[in-house]
Amino acid sequence: MMAAGLPSSDEYLSVKGTPSVSIVDATGRLIARRGVGQGEWVPLSALPPAMPKAVIAIEDRRFYDHWGVDPIAVARALAVNLGAGRVVQGGSTITQQLAKNLFLESDRTFWRKGQEMLLAIYLEMRFSKDEILAMYLNRAYFGAGAFGIDAAARRYFAKPASDLTLSEAAILAGLLKAPSRFAPTRDFEAAEARGKVVLAAMQEVGAISAEEEARALATRPKLARALGSDEAMYFVDWVMDEIPDHIGGLNQDIRVETTLNLDLQRAAERAVAAMIDKHAFTKNVSEAGLIALENDGAVVAMVGGRSYTISQFNHATQARRQPGSAFKPFVYLTAIENGRTPRSIVLDSPLVVSGWNPSNFDDEYEGEVTFTRALSASLNTAAVRVLMDQGPRQVAAMARRLGIASDLRTNATLALGTSEVTLSELTSAYLPFANGGHVAAPHAIKRILTSSGRILYEHPAGEGSLVISPRSAAAMNEMLFETTRTGTARGARLPDRDVAGKTGTSQNFRDAWFVGYTNGIATGVWVGNDDNAAMKNVTGGSLPVEAWRDFMETASRTYEPRPLAGVSDRDPTPGFEISAESGVTMVQGESDEDANAFDEMFERLFGPGEPPSVTGAVAVQGHAPRTGPPGKH
């Protein structure tokens, strides 16, 4: 039965050239074409001996001894996989990996693993070991859009595969485990470290001598500089990295229909370039990232850096930096989900947590303030109090529910954004506020089709799962709208629609962020330097907001103005409720009338006397805006 479901091999085994990948935007306009002319089919005899030796040493040491499936490797992985109930550890041989690339989808199931083994045995019966190794090297994905060894050699080192040195061969062999993570264009230090692991494995199996290993370790390969236009190239690389996850190996010409809007992409690139050109010297800023997402997570624009030609490192998807106060919405959301409201009261005053003394940006404190005021003015001590009231683990769990995948340190400093995240995950984690509470992971690919029109992959339609209540989403909109109305992001206001968002600045001005959204599109901007150098007083409310507004003045016109829930439909019904824990007090009210009603209730319950701080606390959240100094970050 398993064998009956196997695909025909003739079509796949006859492919010799590098397939073409045509990447188009959401309207069908060509963004880029990858594959054609980028790499040639290279026979094993034309490769330097170090290349196949490196791959065998790190991927399949018993390659020339087994019959397509290695029982020893399978037994080693079986215990782990059975314990997990699914395939989590590979025991795959090179032949099995070739089978997967040639015939199978990339899903990790026991059924697919069984088919892979059958195909591996078939390949071993039909082809010699050298032919199998050659097919594998010419079809494997090496990251950065490079399918095949020759394309990888040209992409990373600007040379044909036949000219690879030992150190270069080791780096390329090391990519096969995790091509996107170890790609030299993404993280050269990680790629070089992985190459050293390969060299050690080669020396261990006797493929090279200790002297050859030492010479290779002393050689630092020179990376090729990217050529051509910068337009959407960070996005193209990201799409190319996603293709194997959806369709496995690349065996034929394909057309990739993406979510990108080329007009918005160009507007984003202009906004980032203009901001850096204007402030590079005076503010000591050299890099930035921007990503724009629709409510379902579709990426409509992505800028990974100032210049793709200079650096292919994508600051929108790859860089992990401290978000500062841009993390605070998840602190307040946790409290909102647990029954607090935008009008709940929290104390903003000096405090000490386990020897740590958090302070506000300007070392000024406002006393009792509403959640809305605390978030919009980015008051640090208030955020820490709310976090300690709710619990750091609960806040971290909430952030993960919304899409933050990076590791989060569950201590008091979490409230101030000390755990590093990527711009793409932070921006997508704001989407549930705008879309009514649904999780929305960033995605770039709508469909992948063959040249004949057969659909190989299609992004599932519909909303993501509901991760927060619509009431909580509306409450967050109300508070984050105030941030753009009277708080730290006043420069982000647009004339014809509701805008909500949050600024963030990390310690010593190393990172500046703004994530803002209207009903239809959310955009995140990060500004900083790759060497972690401090900028000159750059806060999230300055350069990030400047680039954000420059882009969004164009991008927002693509979407019909619609109010954000919780902003234009605020509940006018007055009322109040009381609770006090860890410096957080719930006191709701919309007028002095509510405050008087509260006083009357207090007197009936406890006798004559003014409730301490309560009347003033209610007045804080009344209709009149606060006049205290706003935070600056």
d(CA 587, CA 340) in angstroms, rounded, equals 9
Place 18 in a pLDDT band, splitting at 50, 70 and 90. low
**CA-closest candidate to residue 446, choices 300, 316, 233, 298:** 298
In this predicted structure, the answer to whether residue 592 has a pLDDT above a threshold of 90 is no
Q: Please, are residues 583 and 347 in contact by the beta-carbon 8 Å criterion?
A: yes
**CA-closest candidate to residue 234, choices 23, 426, 448:** 23
In this predicted structure, the answer to whether residue 587 has a pLDDT above a threshold of 70 is no
Give me the catalytic one of 59, 168, 294, 366. 59
d(CA 441, CA 427) in angstroms, rounded, equals 10
pTM assigned to the model:
0.76
Place 616 in a pLDDT band, splitting at 50, 70 and 90. very low
What mean pLDDT is predicted for residues 317-330? 97
**CA-closest candidate to residue 53, choices 173, 185, 220, 190:** 173
Alpha-carbon separation of residue 80 from 66, 97, 411, 566 (angstroms):
22, 19, 33, 48
Q: How many CB atoms lie within 10 A of CB 378?
A: 30
d(CA 176, CA 194) in angstroms, rounded, equals 10
How many CA atoms lie within 13 Å of 403's alpha carbon, on the beta-carbon side? Answer: 25
Which amino acid would we find at residue 347?
A: L
What is the set of domains in the chain, with CATH numbers?
Answer: 35-220 (1.10.3810.10), 265-300+320-558 (3.40.710.10), 589-620 (no CATH)
Q: What is the pLDDT of residue 105?
A: 54
In this predicted structure, the answer to whether residue 41 has a pLDDT above a threshold of 90 is no
Question: What is the per-residue pLDDT across 182-211, written as a single tens digit (0 to 9) for each?
Answer: 888 878 889 999 999 999 999 999 999 999
Question: What is the per-residue pLDDT across 121-146, written as a single tens digit (0 to 9) for each?
Answer: 989 999 999 999 999 999 888 988 78
Q: How many CB atoms lie within 10 A of CB 280?
A: 13
Phi, psi dihedral angles at 290 (to 5 degrees): -145, 140
**Which is more confidently placed, 87 or 545?**
545
Q: What is the pLDDT of residue 244?
A: 87
Question: What is the per-residue pLDDT across 355-406, written as a single tens digit (0 to 9) for each?
Answer: 999 999 888 999 999 999 999 999 999 999 999 999 999 999 999 999 999 9
d(CA 408, CA 445) in angstroms, rounded, equals 29
Q: Which two tokens stand for residue 450?
A: 């063959």
Q: Please, are residues 372 and 340 in contact by the beta-carbon 8 Å criterion?
A: no
Q: What is the 3-state secondary structure (H, E, C) of 219-255?
A: CCCCCCCCCCCCCCHHHHHHHHHHHHHHHCCCCCCEE
Q: What is the pLDDT of residue 569?
A: 53
Question: What is the per-residue pLDDT across 452-500, written as a single tens digit (0 to 9) for each?
Answer: 999 999 999 888 899 999 999 999 999 999 999 999 999 999 998 999 9
* Most confident stretch, 112-126, 300-314, 381-395, 591-605: 381-395
Instruction: Report the relative pairing of strands 21-24 and 254-258 from DSSP bridges.
Output: parallel
How many CA atoms lie within 13 Å of 428's alpha carbon, on the beta-carbon side? Answer: 27
Burial class (CB in 10 A: 0-12, 13-18, 19+), 301: buried
Q: What is the pLDDT of residue 260?
A: 98
Q: What is the pLDDT of residue 88?
A: 55
Q: Please, are residues 499 and 401 in contact by the beta-carbon 8 Å criterion?
A: no
Q: Could you tell me if residue 75 is left (phi over 0), alpha (psi between -120 and 50 degrees) or otherwise beta?
A: alpha
Instruction: Report the relative pairing of strands 584-585 and 580-581 from DSSP bridges.
Output: antiparallel
Question: What is the per-residue pLDDT across 262-308, written as a single tens digit (0 to 9) for each?
Answer: 999 999 999 999 999 999 999 999 999 999 999 999 999 999 999 98
Q: What is the pLDDT of residue 309?
A: 83
How many CA atoms lie within 13 Å of 398's alpha carbon, on the beta-carbon side? Answer: 29
Q: What is the DSSP letter of 413?
A: G
Q: Please, are residues 370 and 482 in contact by the beta-carbon 8 Å criterion?
A: no
- Does residue 59 have an active-site annotation? yes
Give me the catalytic one of 22, 325, 376, 542. 325
In this predicted structure, the answer to whether residue 603 has a pLDDT above a threshold of 90 is no
Q: Which residues contact 562 (CB under 8 A, 6 or more apart)?
A: 497, 518, 519, 520
The 3-state DSSP class for residue 353 equals strand
Q: What is the pLDDT of residue 363?
A: 87
Q: What is the pLDDT of residue 50?
A: 97
Place 574 in a pLDDT band, splitting at 50, 70 and 90. very low
**Residue reference for tokens 């194997």:** 244
Q: What is the pLDDT of residue 1?
A: 42
**CA-closest candidate to residue 300, choices 428, 179, 131, 387:** 428
Mean model confidence pLDDT for the chain: 85
Q: What is the pLDDT of residue 606?
A: 46
**CA-closest candidate to residue 512, choices 632, 396, 384, 372:** 632
Question: What is the per-residue pLDDT across 43-100, written as a single tens digit (0 to 9) for each?
Answer: 999 999 999 999 999 999 999 999 999 887 777 767 766 766 655 566 689 999 888 8
Q: What is the pLDDT of residue 334?
A: 98
Which amino acid would we find at residue 162?
A: S
Alpha-carbon separation of residue 539 from 378, 416, 488, 489, 536 (angstroms):
12, 14, 9, 10, 9
What mean pLDDT is predicted for residues 95-115? 70
Place 310 in a pLDDT band, splitting at 50, 70 and 90. confident
**CA-closest candidate to residue 103, choices 88, 83, 118:** 118
DSSP-assigned states of every residue in 488-547: TTGGG-BTTB--EEEEEE-GGGSEEEEEEEETTEEEEEEEE-TT-PPPSS--TTTHHHHH
Question: What is the per-residue pLDDT across 209-251, written as a single tens digit (0 to 9) for each?
Answer: 999 999 999 998 988 866 556 789 999 999 998 998 898 777 7
